Structure 1
Amino acid sequence: MEINYKIMKQVLNNSINGVVIVENSDDILYMNKKAREILGIQGKRNEKSNEILKKDDLSKLQNLDIEGFHKIHYNNRILVASTLSIIDEENIKRRAYILQDISKYEAAVEEISKYKELTYTLEAIINSSYDGIYVTDGEANTLIVNGAYERITGIKASEVLGKNMKDLEKNGVLNQSSSILAIENRKPITIRQVIRRDKEILVTSTPVFSSNGDITYVVTNVRDISNLVNLKNELIDTKALNERYLTELQHIKNKLVNTPEIIIKDSNMLKVMEMAMRVAKVDTTVLLSGETGVGKGQLADFIHKNSLRAKENYIEINCGAIPENLIESELFGYEKGAFTGANKQGKMGMFELASKGTLLLDEVSELSLELQVKLLKALEEKKIYRIGGEKPIPINSRIIAASNKDLKQMVEKGSFRDDLYYRLNVVPIHIFPLRERRDEIIPLCLKFLEDFNKKYAMNKFFAPITLNKLLYYNWPGNVRELKNLVERMVVIAPEDELTEELLPEYIFNNHFSKENLSHTEIGKDLQCSDMSLKEATYEFEKSYIRNAIKKYGSLKKAAKNLNIDPSTINRKLKR
């Protein structure tokens, strides 16, 4: 049964593909509706194809292979075309072109490719993040886990992908889900999360909303804070240790109240006092070294007062101040009739007097080698013999030795026994000279001035320039020299103000630095002395007011020039 031409034409005109039939290479025999639409042309059936189609476009069609599908660009369209050769009974050759417009599909494919590239880029960004990234949907189902999350938590992506956060909580993978909290509260949530009961991390979950307000995703940033937690714990431990040190320091300062001439403003001296406080609690032998006048006696007294022997005797003997022929009897005592001029009842020595207490052997370097042997024997055997006595006397005294000479050098020169040196040098403590503790000079000056004002019922005060001169003197005699000089100035000063004219000439000749200092520079040096603000303000104000009264001749004129009420000056002077 032959198909009717009209039926065939109707079928072709309703085809989604374009059909063009060409005869004699360029005569268009037939073009269906879709072909005209695709090619964007209008023409009649018998028109020449080269009159309807552009020459370049016609060649594109004519040069197509007989078989296969080909993609061509035609009038800004992308077409898939195939060619069919037709020969009828009369041996007439015709060619049919089958066309399909795939422009929209190509655009879709290109869009899909772009999305794929974007997806790849986003995945690369997410996986290159140093922080962990964990993404769930609006129902808390796990969608994305990056490599950093695996590294930080030790959880593999395969363990959680597709799983709900509630199930992960239930199974103990994590103690609490910030994603669930973000969904419930509809806002960003930050918590410290524990992974598998031992790994602690910091997580921040942020909900992502759709245009209609629904939560579509929850993005969680994960950061390992184990090191921070460790640092925090170390900081807490360090803080606790500092607090303990501060408590010990305060304890030391409280103890210093009983030794008023020891003033601690220097860091090195603080270490000295910390060591002294530490050894005070045990009965070990201590060797104090330092120049003459640095305060070895005061430190020995401090050790005794803070020891378990504090309620017993504290005996001090200066080995260099007693003649050599008497020092043995002073140390060990003697029996009656031991030598001519001896006490008829005999006499106890320093070792016996210090029994259960503390014995300070000051300037121990001055002992003769013969007496050093006897001292060593007494320390080793813990017993002594009085001169002229035959009965051993047990001793129980804590020994503190002090020397202004380098005992180690004396050992090397043979003037001090090495065995005695090692017996005394159990805990060595070196006291720094006053010129290396300049922060303590002004506080000591003020302390000694206060003591001597009370002793002599006076009301003397330092001129600022005088304090500066004292501050920069070298003090070869150290604290003892400073104390004696302050007493001398208090006693000989004709007026209450202690001016620089009262200073001996050697103070100026042996100056450390800062010659010709002005009165106004004392403010800076008072700060350098590490005095408290209250103390420094008090001293400056006192000197300033008294200088003003001296300059203007009366309290009233001084008050006027200082722009304060006379009653205020009077009240301050009384204080």
Structure 2
Amino acid sequence: MGLENEMYKYIIENSTNGVVVTDEEFLIKFANKMASYILEVERENIIGKKLNELIDLECKNENIRNNHYTFKVVYKTKVILIDELFIDEEGMAKGFVFIFQDVSKYEYIVDELNKYKELNNMLKAIIDSSYDGIYVTDGEANTILVNKAYERITGITADLVLGHNMKELVEKGFYSQSGSLLVMERGTQVTLRQRLLSGKEILITSIPVYDSDGKMKYIVTNVRDISELVKLQEELSATKVLNEKYRSELGIYKRKTFQVPQLVFTDKAMINLLNVVLKLARFDTTILLLGETGVGKSEIAKLIHDNSERHKGNFIEINCGAIPQNLLESELFGYKKGLLPVLLKNGKMGLFELANNGTLFLDEISELPLDMQVKLLKVLQDRIIYRVGGLKPISIDVRIIAASNKDLKEMVSKGTFREDLYYRLNVIPIKIPPLRERKDDIIPLILSFLDQCNNKYHMNKYFNVKVYDILREYSWPGNIRELKNFVEYICLTSPNDEIDENCLPEYIKKEVNNEKKCHLYSENMSLQEATSIFEMDLIKKAITKYGSLRKAAQHLKVDPSTLSRKIKKAKASLH
């Protein structure tokens, strides 16, 4: 027996589990090496102590008086699984045996397994939520996963194909051919049409997935119902036909109304003005167009002609300030046959004759010399012209549209423009507002001119959003003409496709910045108004810089509710 006892002691002492023996009051009588290691206490400091002083045994003793009991406790950084055995000798309680097992690493493994399970469930949910069908095989074409969309699209349930090889399924007639088998054969992605038992055709794309060793691990097949694609294609074709119909109808509408392609407008004032112009175009009366240089007077004149009863006749335009005075008369009225040796021997028709039964547009009429003003007035009154050097009267039927960028009434008061001619021309005056007064037209015009430049020079330029804001605030003293020239200049000189603030000329940026400063504060403002403007400017900059109201408030060292209140107050003051 002595040898046997020694063997038992050796086994217990060298056990990989901790063993602790206590009396019925949990006073420790024995502890092996592993128990000392697990509890991280020297054996001599364990013996004689109560176990429940080291480990929480609360409510455990009630359960183990009659039975073996197992429980788990957290001890320091460890998770310990404890088996508790009740020692009962001839009906008398002798104590307890506690067997300790450090299961910390197993707990970690279980936790990791639970995470992988959760991740696996999440991936399965994502795959099942895909609108496209997904069919996955292993590297040998054995089916391992089918999502719900695949079952919906094909009518083939997962239980019919899971675990089956694609070769077998093709042989049984489930599929006419297999993308997975072709991927195994070719080693690359495959897209093909696949016919099902039901007769339905599907479009599939099979993609190989390789492991780190370059071995084909999986083949993932995406499935889409071709019938739905065909339906979408038919709907798209129908939409295109409808779109072409609308475009054709819009073209007819445009031909009936606005026949000048470069005439772009969205501003309300211009819409109202052009509605008036189109109404007046039908009446054969003289029209005087007033406005700054470059506002589009010649385009408006052409619009009037194209929408008048004279639209089949010629539209003749002359800039009165661009022709030398000594040639102006012959340009307008022509000259008779053989007047001078250097001239054409058969004579020449003037612009009035060329415009007969059409429209003559006299641009910059203010530049007409006084002597020519007299002759023009006579023509307007009598509807008769004489060629230079000729005596034969020539009857004309011409509609006159005149234009000026100067104040003709002021010129009349100064004696530089004839009053009688002024009133003869000023039958229906139309004032075209400058571009700075119709800011809503600026961006549409920019887009139109930009499109023209890109087409003309085979480029793909576009403006940064901030650039549009700057250009919208610029005064454009040269109006549409300046804007068009600017767009062409900036397209040809900007180094990149994107045109940003750095590409803009300094004079534009300087004017806009000065304008903003002028509008920010005014000497007529109260201190409270100026303070409110300064506060809002500061708040806007902070929100823009830091991305949120909370961060802006933190930077400005105020409560977010304070900023919110100030913003609401500022908005309310605008309405």
**TM-score normalised according to structure 2 size:** 0.45
TM-score by length of 1: 0.45
Q: Which has the larger radius of gyration?
A: 1
